[in-house]
Amino acid sequence: MYNEINPDQTDRTGGLPKEESSRQSHFIARCRGWAGDFEKTHHRRPTASVQTFGCQMNARDSEKLSGILEQIGFELKEEEDADLVLYNTCTVRDNANQRVYGRLGYVHSLKKKNPAMLIGLCGCMMQEESVIEKIRQSYRFVDLIFGTHNIYKLAELLYERLTSGSMVVDIWKEGRDIVETLPTERKYPYKSGVNIMYGCNNFCSYCIVPYVRGRERSRRPEEILEEIRRLVDEGVVEVMLLGQNVNSYGKNLETPVSFAGLLKEAEAIEGLKRIRFMTSHPKDLSDELIQVMKDSEKICPHLHLPLQSGSSRILKIMNRRYDKEQYLALAKKIRTAIPDISLTTDIIVGFPGETEEDFEETMDVVRQVRFDSAFTFLYSKRTGTPAAAMENQIPKEVAQARFDRLLALVQQISKEMSGRDTGRVLTALVEETDRQHEGMVTGRLGNNIMVHFPGAPELVGQIVPVRLLESRGFYYMGRMEEQ
Protein backbone atom coordinates (compact mmCIF):
# COMPACT_ATOMS: atom_id res chain seq x y z
CA MET A 1 0.00 0.00 0.00
CA TYR A 2 2.99 2.29 0.02
CA ASN A 3 4.93 4.13 -2.60
CA GLU A 4 8.51 3.13 -3.08
CA ILE A 5 10.03 5.39 -0.47
CA ASN A 6 12.31 3.46 1.83
CA PRO A 7 13.17 5.64 4.79
CA ASP A 8 15.82 3.18 5.92
CA GLN A 9 17.81 4.07 2.85
CA THR A 10 17.51 7.79 3.44
CA ASP A 11 20.54 9.45 4.96
CA ARG A 12 19.45 10.59 8.42
CA THR A 13 22.47 12.68 9.12
CA GLY A 14 23.10 14.42 5.79
CA GLY A 15 21.83 17.77 4.45
CA LEU A 16 18.29 18.37 3.33
CA PRO A 17 17.30 17.11 -0.11
CA LYS A 18 15.89 19.85 -2.36
CA GLU A 19 13.24 17.82 -4.12
CA GLU A 20 10.11 17.88 -1.95
CA SER A 21 9.23 14.20 -1.68
CA SER A 22 12.88 13.28 -0.95
CA ARG A 23 12.92 16.03 1.65
CA GLN A 24 9.86 14.52 3.30
CA SER A 25 11.35 10.99 3.20
CA HIS A 26 14.31 12.50 4.99
CA PHE A 27 12.06 13.80 7.77
CA ILE A 28 10.16 10.52 7.91
CA ALA A 29 13.54 8.87 8.54
CA ARG A 30 14.37 11.36 11.29
CA CYS A 31 11.01 10.83 12.97
CA ARG A 32 11.59 7.11 12.63
CA GLY A 33 14.64 7.55 14.79
CA TRP A 34 12.46 9.19 17.42
CA ALA A 35 9.91 6.36 17.15
CA GLY A 36 12.70 3.81 17.62
CA ASP A 37 13.85 5.56 20.79
CA PHE A 38 10.25 5.70 22.00
CA GLU A 39 9.92 1.96 21.49
CA LYS A 40 13.11 1.27 23.43
CA THR A 41 11.92 3.35 26.39
CA HIS A 42 8.29 2.25 26.44
CA HIS A 43 8.62 -1.31 25.10
CA ARG A 44 5.90 -0.60 22.58
CA ARG A 45 5.50 1.44 19.41
CA PRO A 46 4.01 4.94 19.71
CA THR A 47 0.33 5.03 18.77
CA ALA A 48 -1.44 7.55 16.55
CA SER A 49 -5.09 8.27 15.85
CA VAL A 50 -6.29 10.27 12.85
CA GLN A 51 -9.80 11.64 13.31
CA THR A 52 -11.54 12.80 10.16
CA PHE A 53 -14.33 15.36 9.83
CA GLY A 54 -16.09 16.37 6.65
CA CYS A 55 -16.02 15.23 3.06
CA GLN A 56 -14.47 12.52 0.91
CA MET A 57 -11.53 14.75 0.15
CA ASN A 58 -10.70 14.98 3.83
CA ALA A 59 -11.04 11.22 4.09
CA ARG A 60 -8.49 10.86 1.30
CA ASP A 61 -6.17 13.37 2.97
CA SER A 62 -6.43 11.34 6.18
CA GLU A 63 -5.24 8.27 4.30
CA LYS A 64 -2.19 10.23 3.22
CA LEU A 65 -1.58 11.42 6.79
CA SER A 66 -1.98 7.87 8.10
CA GLY A 67 0.47 6.61 5.48
CA ILE A 68 3.13 9.03 6.68
CA LEU A 69 2.50 8.12 10.34
CA GLU A 70 2.77 4.41 9.57
CA GLN A 71 6.09 4.96 7.80
CA ILE A 72 7.36 6.85 10.82
CA GLY A 73 6.58 3.80 12.91
CA PHE A 74 3.34 4.73 14.64
CA GLU A 75 0.78 2.06 15.28
CA LEU A 76 -2.53 3.45 14.07
CA LYS A 77 -5.62 3.15 16.22
CA GLU A 78 -9.21 4.34 16.13
CA GLU A 79 -9.54 5.61 19.70
CA GLU A 80 -8.18 8.98 20.75
CA ASP A 81 -6.14 7.72 23.73
CA ALA A 82 -3.01 7.66 21.59
CA ASP A 83 0.47 9.21 21.75
CA LEU A 84 -0.43 11.40 18.78
CA VAL A 85 -3.96 12.50 17.89
CA LEU A 86 -4.50 14.36 14.65
CA TYR A 87 -7.81 16.04 13.86
CA ASN A 88 -8.37 16.57 10.15
CA THR A 89 -11.02 19.28 10.34
CA CYS A 90 -13.87 20.60 8.21
CA THR A 91 -15.33 24.10 8.28
CA VAL A 92 -18.05 24.04 5.64
CA ARG A 93 -20.69 24.58 8.33
CA ASP A 94 -20.24 25.96 11.81
CA ASN A 95 -21.38 22.77 13.57
CA ALA A 96 -18.28 21.04 12.16
CA ASN A 97 -16.12 23.65 13.93
CA GLN A 98 -18.06 23.27 17.16
CA ARG A 99 -17.54 19.53 17.11
CA VAL A 100 -13.79 20.02 16.84
CA TYR A 101 -13.73 22.35 19.84
CA GLY A 102 -15.76 19.78 21.76
CA ARG A 103 -13.30 17.03 20.91
CA LEU A 104 -10.37 19.23 21.87
CA GLY A 105 -11.89 19.57 25.33
CA TYR A 106 -12.05 15.80 25.59
CA VAL A 107 -8.54 15.18 24.31
CA HIS A 108 -7.20 17.80 26.70
CA SER A 109 -8.44 15.64 29.57
CA LEU A 110 -6.49 12.72 28.07
CA LYS A 111 -3.37 14.84 27.74
CA LYS A 112 -3.56 15.74 31.42
CA LYS A 113 -3.12 12.04 32.15
CA ASN A 114 -0.40 11.61 29.49
CA PRO A 115 1.51 14.93 29.24
CA ALA A 116 3.80 13.58 26.50
CA MET A 117 0.78 13.16 24.23
CA LEU A 118 0.91 15.17 20.99
CA ILE A 119 -2.18 16.85 19.57
CA GLY A 120 -2.33 18.03 15.98
CA LEU A 121 -4.93 19.95 13.99
CA CYS A 122 -5.05 20.23 10.22
CA GLY A 123 -7.49 20.66 7.35
CA CYS A 124 -9.96 23.32 6.25
CA MET A 125 -10.77 24.86 9.61
CA MET A 126 -7.11 25.72 10.12
CA GLN A 127 -7.12 27.92 7.02
CA GLU A 128 -9.20 30.46 8.95
CA GLU A 129 -7.19 33.08 10.77
CA SER A 130 -9.78 33.53 13.52
CA VAL A 131 -9.54 29.82 14.35
CA ILE A 132 -5.76 29.92 14.64
CA GLU A 133 -6.03 32.93 16.96
CA LYS A 134 -8.55 31.15 19.15
CA ILE A 135 -6.41 28.03 19.39
CA ARG A 136 -3.26 30.00 20.17
CA GLN A 137 -5.09 31.74 22.99
CA SER A 138 -7.44 29.18 24.45
CA TYR A 139 -6.09 25.78 23.39
CA ARG A 140 -2.41 26.15 24.13
CA PHE A 141 -2.00 22.43 24.70
CA VAL A 142 -2.20 21.86 20.93
CA ASP A 143 1.21 20.91 19.51
CA LEU A 144 0.88 21.06 15.77
CA ILE A 145 -1.26 23.07 13.35
CA PHE A 146 -1.19 22.96 9.60
CA GLY A 147 -3.66 23.55 6.79
CA THR A 148 -4.96 21.97 3.61
CA HIS A 149 -2.07 22.76 1.27
CA ASN A 150 0.81 21.21 3.19
CA ILE A 151 -0.44 17.93 4.60
CA TYR A 152 2.45 16.15 2.87
CA LYS A 153 4.77 18.00 5.29
CA LEU A 154 3.46 16.15 8.36
CA ALA A 155 6.78 14.42 9.11
CA GLU A 156 8.76 17.65 8.82
CA LEU A 157 6.36 19.53 11.09
CA LEU A 158 6.26 16.72 13.59
CA TYR A 159 10.04 16.63 13.66
CA GLU A 160 10.12 20.36 14.25
CA ARG A 161 7.70 19.95 17.16
CA LEU A 162 9.76 17.14 18.65
CA THR A 163 12.97 19.15 18.47
CA SER A 164 11.64 22.61 19.35
CA GLY A 165 9.27 21.56 22.12
CA SER A 166 6.81 24.33 21.29
CA MET A 167 3.63 24.68 19.22
CA VAL A 168 4.34 24.49 15.47
CA VAL A 169 2.01 26.41 13.16
CA ASP A 170 2.38 26.23 9.37
CA ILE A 171 -0.49 27.53 7.26
CA TRP A 172 -0.18 28.40 3.58
CA LYS A 173 -2.67 30.70 1.92
CA GLU A 174 -2.42 28.96 -1.44
CA GLY A 175 -1.39 25.57 -2.75
CA ARG A 176 2.09 25.34 -4.23
CA ASP A 177 3.37 22.20 -5.97
CA ILE A 178 1.07 19.23 -5.78
CA VAL A 179 3.10 16.59 -3.92
CA GLU A 180 1.48 13.21 -4.45
CA THR A 181 4.30 10.75 -4.11
CA LEU A 182 4.21 10.13 -0.38
CA PRO A 183 3.00 6.93 1.25
CA THR A 184 -0.73 6.45 1.80
CA GLU A 185 -2.46 4.01 4.10
CA ARG A 186 -5.76 3.17 2.44
CA LYS A 187 -8.75 2.41 4.59
CA TYR A 188 -10.18 -0.16 2.17
CA PRO A 189 -8.06 -2.53 0.07
CA TYR A 190 -10.62 -2.73 -2.75
CA LYS A 191 -11.69 0.89 -3.25
CA SER A 192 -9.98 4.24 -3.16
CA GLY A 193 -10.52 7.93 -3.67
CA VAL A 194 -8.30 9.62 -6.25
CA ASN A 195 -7.92 13.39 -6.21
CA ILE A 196 -8.21 14.80 -9.68
CA MET A 197 -8.29 18.46 -8.70
CA TYR A 198 -7.98 20.71 -5.71
CA GLY A 199 -9.74 23.92 -4.71
CA CYS A 200 -12.70 25.69 -6.23
CA ASN A 201 -13.18 28.83 -8.32
CA ASN A 202 -16.93 29.12 -8.08
CA PHE A 203 -17.39 31.32 -5.06
CA CYS A 204 -20.96 30.38 -4.27
CA SER A 205 -21.85 33.21 -1.94
CA TYR A 206 -22.50 31.02 1.13
CA CYS A 207 -19.45 28.79 0.77
CA ILE A 208 -16.10 28.98 2.52
CA VAL A 209 -14.41 26.26 0.45
CA PRO A 210 -12.75 28.57 -2.12
CA TYR A 211 -11.17 30.49 0.77
CA VAL A 212 -9.84 27.45 2.60
CA ARG A 213 -9.03 25.12 -0.28
CA GLY A 214 -7.70 27.78 -2.63
CA ARG A 215 -8.00 28.21 -6.40
CA GLU A 216 -8.86 25.35 -8.67
CA ARG A 217 -5.87 23.23 -9.73
CA SER A 218 -6.21 20.09 -11.82
CA ARG A 219 -3.73 17.25 -11.71
CA ARG A 220 -2.34 16.15 -15.05
CA PRO A 221 -4.28 13.25 -16.58
CA GLU A 222 -1.16 11.07 -16.95
CA GLU A 223 -0.52 11.35 -13.23
CA ILE A 224 -4.11 10.48 -12.33
CA LEU A 225 -4.22 7.50 -14.69
CA GLU A 226 -0.87 6.30 -13.39
CA GLU A 227 -2.18 6.46 -9.82
CA ILE A 228 -5.29 4.51 -10.80
CA ARG A 229 -3.19 1.85 -12.56
CA ARG A 230 -1.04 1.51 -9.47
CA LEU A 231 -4.11 1.18 -7.26
CA VAL A 232 -5.54 -1.50 -9.55
CA ASP A 233 -2.24 -3.38 -9.33
CA GLU A 234 -2.66 -3.28 -5.56
CA GLY A 235 -6.14 -4.82 -5.77
CA VAL A 236 -8.45 -1.80 -6.05
CA VAL A 237 -11.55 -2.44 -8.19
CA GLU A 238 -13.41 0.84 -7.61
CA VAL A 239 -12.14 4.40 -7.70
CA MET A 240 -13.89 7.61 -6.72
CA LEU A 241 -12.53 10.59 -8.63
CA LEU A 242 -12.59 13.54 -6.26
CA GLY A 243 -12.87 17.27 -6.80
CA GLN A 244 -15.08 20.14 -5.62
CA ASN A 245 -16.32 20.60 -9.15
CA VAL A 246 -15.20 17.74 -11.36
CA ASN A 247 -17.05 19.09 -14.38
CA SER A 248 -14.54 21.85 -14.78
CA TYR A 249 -11.63 19.41 -14.52
CA GLY A 250 -8.73 20.10 -16.86
CA LYS A 251 -9.82 23.51 -18.08
CA ASN A 252 -6.73 25.24 -16.72
CA LEU A 253 -4.17 22.61 -17.68
CA GLU A 254 -1.45 23.47 -20.21
CA THR A 255 -3.10 21.02 -22.58
CA PRO A 256 -6.75 21.29 -21.61
CA VAL A 257 -8.64 18.01 -21.12
CA SER A 258 -12.34 17.53 -20.40
CA PHE A 259 -13.61 15.51 -17.46
CA ALA A 260 -15.47 13.27 -19.89
CA GLY A 261 -12.16 12.70 -21.72
CA LEU A 262 -10.46 11.72 -18.47
CA LEU A 263 -13.28 9.29 -17.69
CA LYS A 264 -12.89 7.62 -21.08
CA GLU A 265 -9.22 7.05 -20.41
CA ALA A 266 -9.91 5.68 -16.94
CA GLU A 267 -12.52 3.35 -18.43
CA ALA A 268 -9.80 1.76 -20.58
CA ILE A 269 -7.74 0.70 -17.56
CA GLU A 270 -7.78 -3.04 -17.40
CA GLY A 271 -8.75 -4.54 -14.06
CA LEU A 272 -10.59 -1.42 -12.94
CA LYS A 273 -14.24 -2.36 -12.55
CA ARG A 274 -16.07 0.67 -11.22
CA ILE A 275 -15.65 4.41 -11.49
CA ARG A 276 -17.43 6.97 -9.35
CA PHE A 277 -16.91 10.69 -9.07
CA MET A 278 -17.93 13.64 -6.95
CA THR A 279 -18.99 16.47 -6.98
CA SER A 280 -20.67 17.76 -10.13
CA HIS A 281 -21.76 21.35 -10.56
CA PRO A 282 -24.95 21.64 -12.62
CA LYS A 283 -23.71 24.73 -14.45
CA ASP A 284 -21.08 22.87 -16.43
CA LEU A 285 -22.26 19.32 -16.70
CA SER A 286 -21.74 18.58 -20.38
CA ASP A 287 -23.71 16.49 -22.87
CA GLU A 288 -20.41 14.74 -23.55
CA LEU A 289 -20.32 13.59 -19.91
CA ILE A 290 -23.88 12.26 -20.07
CA GLN A 291 -22.98 10.36 -23.25
CA VAL A 292 -19.80 8.93 -21.73
CA MET A 293 -21.77 7.77 -18.67
CA LYS A 294 -24.44 6.24 -20.86
CA ASP A 295 -21.92 4.30 -22.96
CA SER A 296 -19.77 3.25 -20.06
CA GLU A 297 -19.58 -0.23 -18.57
CA LYS A 298 -17.69 0.98 -15.52
CA ILE A 299 -19.02 4.38 -14.51
CA CYS A 300 -21.61 3.86 -11.80
CA PRO A 301 -25.12 5.11 -12.54
CA HIS A 302 -25.03 7.79 -9.87
CA LEU A 303 -24.77 11.55 -10.13
CA HIS A 304 -24.50 13.83 -7.15
CA LEU A 305 -25.80 17.12 -8.46
CA PRO A 306 -26.16 19.76 -5.75
CA LEU A 307 -29.30 21.84 -6.19
CA GLN A 308 -28.81 24.13 -3.16
CA SER A 309 -32.10 25.93 -3.80
CA GLY A 310 -35.04 25.58 -6.17
CA SER A 311 -35.69 29.32 -6.33
CA SER A 312 -34.13 31.07 -9.33
CA ARG A 313 -34.01 34.27 -7.31
CA ILE A 314 -32.04 32.65 -4.48
CA LEU A 315 -29.83 30.71 -6.90
CA LYS A 316 -28.81 34.02 -8.42
CA ILE A 317 -27.87 35.47 -5.04
CA MET A 318 -26.06 32.24 -4.25
CA ASN A 319 -24.03 32.79 -7.43
CA ARG A 320 -24.82 29.31 -8.67
CA ARG A 321 -25.10 30.36 -12.32
CA TYR A 322 -28.13 28.21 -13.23
CA ASP A 323 -31.81 28.71 -12.56
CA LYS A 324 -34.68 26.46 -11.58
CA GLU A 325 -35.70 25.72 -15.18
CA GLN A 326 -32.15 24.90 -16.24
CA TYR A 327 -31.74 22.51 -13.32
CA LEU A 328 -35.04 20.78 -14.05
CA ALA A 329 -34.17 20.47 -17.75
CA LEU A 330 -30.77 19.02 -16.91
CA ALA A 331 -32.22 16.48 -14.48
CA LYS A 332 -34.76 15.44 -17.10
CA LYS A 333 -32.09 15.10 -19.77
CA ILE A 334 -30.00 12.88 -17.49
CA ARG A 335 -32.91 10.70 -16.39
CA THR A 336 -34.04 10.28 -20.02
CA ALA A 337 -30.56 9.33 -21.24
CA ILE A 338 -29.81 7.02 -18.30
CA PRO A 339 -33.13 5.84 -16.81
CA ASP A 340 -31.48 3.75 -14.08
CA ILE A 341 -29.41 6.60 -12.77
CA SER A 342 -29.58 7.59 -9.15
CA LEU A 343 -29.71 11.36 -8.73
CA THR A 344 -28.69 12.74 -5.36
CA THR A 345 -28.31 16.30 -4.19
CA ASP A 346 -27.44 18.86 -1.53
CA ILE A 347 -29.97 21.49 -0.46
CA ILE A 348 -29.52 24.49 1.81
CA VAL A 349 -32.49 25.82 3.78
CA GLY A 350 -32.67 29.29 5.26
CA PHE A 351 -30.27 31.15 2.99
CA PRO A 352 -30.48 34.92 3.72
CA GLY A 353 -33.65 36.43 2.30
CA GLU A 354 -35.30 33.06 1.55
CA THR A 355 -39.07 33.62 1.57
CA GLU A 356 -41.83 31.07 1.95
CA GLU A 357 -42.30 31.25 -1.83
CA ASP A 358 -38.61 30.61 -2.45
CA PHE A 359 -38.75 27.62 -0.15
CA GLU A 360 -41.81 26.27 -1.96
CA GLU A 361 -39.81 26.42 -5.19
CA THR A 362 -37.24 24.13 -3.57
CA MET A 363 -40.00 21.73 -2.47
CA ASP A 364 -41.34 21.85 -6.02
CA VAL A 365 -37.99 20.84 -7.56
CA VAL A 366 -37.68 18.01 -5.05
CA ARG A 367 -41.14 16.76 -6.03
CA GLN A 368 -40.38 17.02 -9.74
CA VAL A 369 -36.90 15.53 -9.81
CA ARG A 370 -37.63 12.89 -7.17
CA PHE A 371 -34.08 12.65 -5.84
CA ASP A 372 -32.92 9.19 -4.85
CA SER A 373 -31.53 10.85 -1.78
CA ALA A 374 -30.68 14.34 -0.63
CA PHE A 375 -28.46 15.90 2.00
CA THR A 376 -30.29 18.80 3.56
CA PHE A 377 -28.47 21.54 5.45
CA LEU A 378 -29.51 24.49 7.53
CA TYR A 379 -27.76 27.55 6.16
CA SER A 380 -24.68 28.26 8.25
CA LYS A 381 -23.13 31.72 8.31
CA ARG A 382 -19.44 31.52 7.35
CA THR A 383 -17.40 34.57 8.19
CA GLY A 384 -15.76 36.10 5.14
CA THR A 385 -18.31 34.86 2.62
CA PRO A 386 -20.59 37.38 0.86
CA ALA A 387 -23.72 35.75 2.30
CA ALA A 388 -22.52 36.29 5.87
CA ALA A 389 -22.70 40.05 5.28
CA MET A 390 -26.25 39.94 3.92
CA GLU A 391 -28.75 41.68 6.15
CA ASN A 392 -31.84 39.54 5.91
CA GLN A 393 -30.62 36.46 7.79
CA ILE A 394 -33.47 34.03 8.48
CA PRO A 395 -34.50 33.42 12.10
CA LYS A 396 -33.45 30.00 13.30
CA GLU A 397 -36.97 28.77 14.10
CA VAL A 398 -38.22 29.67 10.62
CA ALA A 399 -35.30 27.90 8.94
CA GLN A 400 -35.69 24.88 11.22
CA ALA A 401 -39.42 24.55 10.46
CA ARG A 402 -38.69 24.64 6.73
CA PHE A 403 -35.84 22.20 7.16
CA ASP A 404 -38.16 19.72 8.90
CA ARG A 405 -40.71 19.97 6.11
CA LEU A 406 -38.05 19.46 3.46
CA LEU A 407 -36.50 16.53 5.26
CA ALA A 408 -39.87 14.77 5.56
CA LEU A 409 -40.48 15.19 1.83
CA VAL A 410 -36.98 14.12 0.84
CA GLN A 411 -37.18 11.01 3.02
CA GLN A 412 -40.58 10.00 1.74
CA ILE A 413 -39.45 10.26 -1.90
CA SER A 414 -36.13 8.61 -1.16
CA LYS A 415 -37.92 5.63 0.36
CA GLU A 416 -40.12 5.25 -2.69
CA MET A 417 -37.23 5.67 -5.10
CA SER A 418 -34.84 3.31 -3.40
CA GLY A 419 -37.28 0.42 -3.73
CA ARG A 420 -37.63 0.79 -7.48
CA ASP A 421 -35.20 -2.00 -8.36
CA THR A 422 -36.88 -4.67 -6.20
CA GLY A 423 -36.83 -8.02 -8.01
CA ARG A 424 -33.93 -7.09 -10.29
CA VAL A 425 -30.43 -8.54 -10.32
CA LEU A 426 -27.73 -5.85 -9.98
CA THR A 427 -24.05 -6.09 -9.21
CA ALA A 428 -22.77 -5.18 -5.76
CA LEU A 429 -19.26 -4.56 -4.51
CA VAL A 430 -19.08 -6.47 -1.23
CA GLU A 431 -17.67 -3.98 1.28
CA GLU A 432 -17.83 -5.75 4.61
CA THR A 433 -19.24 -8.56 6.65
CA ASP A 434 -22.39 -7.61 8.49
CA ARG A 435 -21.30 -7.00 12.06
CA GLN A 436 -24.73 -7.60 13.51
CA HIS A 437 -25.70 -10.72 11.57
CA GLU A 438 -23.26 -13.55 11.20
CA GLY A 439 -23.15 -15.11 7.74
CA MET A 440 -24.33 -11.89 6.10
CA VAL A 441 -22.34 -9.42 4.01
CA THR A 442 -23.02 -5.86 2.88
CA GLY A 443 -22.56 -4.73 -0.69
CA ARG A 444 -22.89 -1.42 -2.50
CA LEU A 445 -24.85 -1.24 -5.72
CA GLY A 446 -23.72 0.97 -8.59
CA ASN A 447 -26.42 3.46 -7.63
CA ASN A 448 -24.87 3.70 -4.18
CA ILE A 449 -27.62 1.84 -2.31
CA MET A 450 -26.56 -0.89 0.10
CA VAL A 451 -27.75 -4.48 -0.02
CA HIS A 452 -27.43 -7.09 2.72
CA PHE A 453 -27.29 -10.76 1.73
CA PRO A 454 -26.02 -14.12 2.96
CA GLY A 455 -22.38 -14.59 1.99
CA ALA A 456 -18.94 -15.62 3.17
CA PRO A 457 -16.33 -13.12 4.44
CA GLU A 458 -14.11 -14.06 1.44
CA LEU A 459 -16.52 -12.14 -0.77
CA VAL A 460 -15.32 -8.81 0.62
CA GLY A 461 -13.75 -6.83 -2.23
CA GLN A 462 -15.54 -8.80 -4.96
CA ILE A 463 -18.22 -7.59 -7.33
CA VAL A 464 -21.08 -10.10 -7.45
CA PRO A 465 -24.60 -10.28 -8.91
CA VAL A 466 -27.32 -9.94 -6.29
CA ARG A 467 -31.08 -10.30 -6.63
CA LEU A 468 -32.82 -7.53 -4.72
CA LEU A 469 -35.56 -9.34 -2.86
CA GLU A 470 -36.97 -6.72 -0.56
CA SER A 471 -36.61 -2.99 -0.05
CA ARG A 472 -36.28 -1.89 3.55
CA GLY A 473 -36.57 1.82 2.96
CA PHE A 474 -33.02 2.91 2.32
CA TYR A 475 -31.42 -0.50 1.68
CA TYR A 476 -32.26 -3.90 0.26
CA MET A 477 -32.19 -7.47 1.45
CA GLY A 478 -30.97 -9.74 -1.33
CA ARG A 479 -29.61 -13.07 -2.45
CA MET A 480 -26.44 -13.72 -4.40
CA GLU A 481 -26.99 -15.16 -7.87
CA GLU A 482 -24.81 -17.63 -9.75
CA GLN A 483 -21.97 -15.75 -11.46
Residue ranges binding ligand SF4 (CB under 6 A): 200, 202-204, 207, 209-210, 244-245, 281
Indicate whether 206 belongs to the interface with ligand 5AD (CB under 6 A). Answer: yes
Q: In the sheet that 191-195 helps form, which strands lie side by side, from edge to edge?
A: 191-195, 238-242, 274-278
> In the 3-class helix/strand/coil scheme, how is 315-337 assigned residue by residue?
HHHCCCCCCHHHHHHHHHHHHHH
Choose the one of ligand SF4, ligand 5AD, none that binds residue 382, judging by a C-beta under 5 to 8 angstroms depending on kind.
Answer: ligand 5AD
What letter does residue 87 receive in the DSSP assignment?
A: E
Near ligand 5AD by CB under 6 A: residue from 68, 92, 260, 262:
92
Q: Is 345 helix (H, G, I), strand (E, B) or coil?
A: strand
Cβ proximity to ligand SF4, 190 vs 277, nearer residue: 277
Minimum gap (Å) between residue 364 Cβ and ligand 5AD: 18
Cβ proximity to ligand SF4, 49 vs 244, nearer residue: 244
Near ligand 5AD by CB under 6 A: residue from 348, 406, 430, 459:
348
Choose the one of ligand SF4, ligand 5AD, none that binds residue 348, judging by a C-beta under 5 to 8 angstroms depending on kind.
Answer: ligand 5AD
Choose the one of ligand SF4, ligand 5AD, none that binds residue 244, judging by a C-beta under 5 to 8 angstroms depending on kind.
Answer: ligand SF4
Q: Please state at what angle helix 154-164 crosses helix 56-72, rounded to 10 degrees.
A: 60
Indicate whether 218 belongs to the interface with ligand 5AD (CB under 6 A). Answer: no
Choose the one of ligand 5AD, ligand SF4, none that binds residue 379, judging by a C-beta under 5 to 8 angstroms depending on kind.
Answer: ligand 5AD
What is the residue-wise DSSP string for 413-461?
HHHHHHTTTTT-EEEEEEEEE-SSSTTEEEEEETTS-EEEEE--GGGTT
Nearest CA to 253 among 200, 280, 217?
217
Q: Is 196 helix (H, G, I), strand (E, B) or coil?
A: coil
Cβ proximity to ligand 5AD, 34 vs 377, nearer residue: 377
Near ligand 5AD by CB under 6 A: residue from 205, 308, 311, 373:
308
Q: Is 391 helix (H, G, I), strand (E, B) or coil?
A: coil
Distances in whole angstroms, Cα of residue 268 to Cα of each of 262, 275, 299, 338: 10, 11, 11, 21
Using the Cα atoms of residue 426, residue 431, residue 433 and residue 435 in order, give the sign of their dihedral: negative
Choose the one of ligand SF4, ligand 5AD, none that binds residue 377, judging by a C-beta under 5 to 8 angstroms depending on kind.
Answer: ligand 5AD
Minimum gap (Å) between residue 309 Cβ and ligand SF4: 12
Indicate whether 304 belongs to the interface with ligand 5AD (CB under 6 A). Answer: no
Near ligand 5AD by CB under 6 A: residue from 30, 32, 60, 93:
93
Choose the one of ligand 5AD, ligand SF4, none that binds residue 281, judging by a C-beta under 5 to 8 angstroms depending on kind.
Answer: ligand SF4
Count of residues that bind ligand 5AD according to CB under 6 A = 12
Near ligand 5AD by CB under 6 A: residue from 199, 214, 243, 306:
306
Cβ proximity to ligand 5AD, 206 vs 371, nearer residue: 206
Q: Is 148 helix (H, G, I), strand (E, B) or coil?
A: coil
User: What span, in angstroms and rounded, lies between the C-alpha atoms of 182 and 179?
Assistant: 7
Distances in whole angstroms, Cα of residue 316 to Cα of each of 87, 245, 260: 36, 18, 27
Choose the one of ligand SF4, ligand 5AD, none that binds residue 202, judging by a C-beta under 5 to 8 angstroms depending on kind.
Answer: ligand SF4
In the window 371-410, what residues touch ligand 5AD (CB under 6 A)? 377, 379-380, 382
What are the backbone dihedrals phi and psi of residue 420, each rounded to the nearest 5 degrees, phi first?
A: -70, -15
Minimum gap (Å) between residue 293 Cβ and ligand SF4: 20
Minimum gap (Å) between residue 426 Cβ and ligand SF4: 30
SS3 content of the chain, % helix, strand, coil (to 5): 40, 20, 40
Indicate whether 276 belongs to the interface with ligand 5AD (CB under 6 A). Answer: no
Residues that bind ligand 5AD (CB under 6 A): 92-93, 206-207, 306, 308, 346, 348, 377, 379-380, 382
